[in-house]
Chains A and B, each alone.
Chain A
Amino acid sequence: MARVLLRVPTMTEKGSVIEIRALIQHVMETGYRPNAEGVLQARDIIWTFTCRYDGEVVFNATFSPAIAANPFIAFTTIATQSGPVSFTWEGDNGFTQTETRHITVT
Chain B
Amino acid sequence: MKFTRRVLLAAPGVLLLPAPTRADQQRLAAALRDFTGGQPMREGRVRLDVSPLVENGNAVPISVTVETPMTTADHVRRIGVFNERNPQPNVITAQFGPRSGRAFLATHIRLATSQALVAVAEMNDGSFWSQRVEVIVTLAACIEG
Where chain A touches its partner, the secondary structure class is strand
In-complex Cβ contact of A58 among B91, B97, B107, B108 (8 A):
B97
User: How many residue pairs at the A-B interface have CB separations less than 8 Å?
Assistant: 94
For residues 16 through 34 of chain A, which have their beta carbon under 8 Å from a beta carbon of chain B? 17-19, 30, 32-33
Known A17-B101, A76-B102: A64·B92 in contact at CB below 8 Å: yes
The yes or no answer to A6 lying at the interface (CB within 8 A) is: no
The reply to whether A66 and B90 contact each other, CB–CB distance below 8 Å, is yes
In-complex Cβ contact of A66 among B86, B94, B145 (8 A):
B86
Interface size bucket, B side? Answer: 20 to 34
Residue ID in chain B nearest A73 by CB atoms: B107
The yes or no answer to B83 lying at the interface (CB within 8 A) is: yes
The reply to whether B93 and A68 contact each other, CB–CB distance below 8 Å, is no
Residues of B within 8 A of A (CB): 58-60, 63, 83, 86-88, 90-97, 99-102, 104-111, 141-142, 145
Residues of A within 8 A of B (CB): 17-19, 30, 32-33, 56-69, 71-78, 80
